[in-house]
Amino acid sequence: MPLIDMAMLVITGGKVEEWEKKLMDIFRKQAIPFFLINNKADLFRVTEEELKNLKEHWGTDVVNFSAKTREGLDEVIALMRKHTPENTYRQTSMLAGLIKPGDVVVLVTPIDSEAPEGRLILPQVQTIRDVLDNDGVAVVLKEDQTARFLRDNPIKPILVISDSQVILKTCKDVPENIPTTGFSILLAHYKGDFKNYLKGTPSLKNLKDGDKILILESCTHQVSCDDIGRVKIPRWISQFTNKKLSFRVVAGTEKIPDDISQYAMVIQCGGCVLTKRQIINRLKPAVEAGVPVSNYGMTIAFVNGVYDRVIQPFIRKDEEKNE
């Protein structure tokens, strides 16, 4: 259940069967907030004393409810509000601590075969909005305009954020004294398992012939002939390692393989459509099994030799935060 932020477990007559017990064990293991709904209260009502005992025994709220008469609906809605994690509906800034009002941020956004016609991809849109929310100035350009813009304009950006697929060119075009990173790495730090990404990404250099790599996509976008997860990343990793590797892609709500230990690495996409809790829970089986994890942007940066540079803005930020 890696994609669940909050659960409502429906029982009848105040009875919690083995199946419900197993579900609650999973909820607790994955730190998923939940509460119990005693449905059919018009037929099998549970007394206040019994509700209190259930609450104490199972360690969560319990409410009487009737789908037929709508009794208890207000209480159910109130408990949904209580147990829904705040970060599922109230977002903090991706760029908090990286920029301040008036700062200029350059966003390098290539228009290639994967770019949707007439619009930008979601991580780029989210980043533009985040710059504006921080009262910054967003300069959006294509990868072949970056060097000329920085050379011909007196404006010095506080940060450059690039699409991962052109991160090598961007790092060559941007002077070393200007912090540079990628959209996917920004998302990795904001809502991914960043600490485990930092530990796992260097494992790319240890891959061997025959190793299996699991690629996790959060959405079910239209697959192109040069798809980033299915074509480009497998090609770049294979070229970097010079090994014969096999790749499997799990997309959207498709079930993640039970035997996660068969994989030498798990690589998660940026997760622009997921919450932090969903990404953490999605990767948890791999982390607990000791399988190295990474994300798209960090993997691409590593195989292109610019990994240390593009993670530096976040290493510095976290160090300052802990001081």
Where do the domains of the chain lie, and which CATH numbers do they carry?
Answer: 7-84 (3.40.50.300), 104-187 (3.40.50.11420), 193-303 (3.40.50.11410)
Separation between Cα atoms, residue 76 and residue 97, nearest integer Å: 38
Nearest to 172 by CA among 306, 3, 300: 306
Separation between Cα atoms, residue 115 and residue 253, nearest integer Å: 23
Separation between Cα atoms, residue 52 and residue 55, nearest integer Å: 5
User: The tokens 């000791």 sit on which residue?
Assistant: 290
* Cα separations in angstroms, 116 against 55, 113, 221: 50, 8, 10
Residue 63 carries which side chain, given as an amino acid letter? V
Structure tokens that stand for 214 in this block: 């699991």
Quick one: how far is CA 185 from the chain centroid?
10
What confidence score (pLDDT) does residue 314 get? 94
Nearest to 39 by CA among 67, 61, 60, 19: 67
pLDDT, tens only, 115-126: 667 788 889 999
pLDDT, tens only, 268-316: 998 888 888 888 888 999 999 999 999 999 999 999 999 999 999 999 8
pTM recorded for the entire structure: 0.76
pLDDT, tens only, 159-210: 999 999 999 999 999 999 999 999 999 999 998 999 999 999 999 999 999 9
Helices (H), 105-206: 122-133, 146-152, 167-173, 183-191, 194-200
Adjacency order of strands within the sheet including 159-162: 137-141, 104-108, 159-162, 180-182
Three-class secondary structure of residue 166 per DSSP: helix
pLDDT, tens only, 237-273: 999 999 999 999 998 778 888 899 999 999 999 888 8
pLDDT bin (cut points 50, 70, 90) of residue 225 is low
**Higher per-residue confidence, 214 vs 228:** 214
Mean predicted confidence (pLDDT) in 98-107:
96
DSSP 243: S
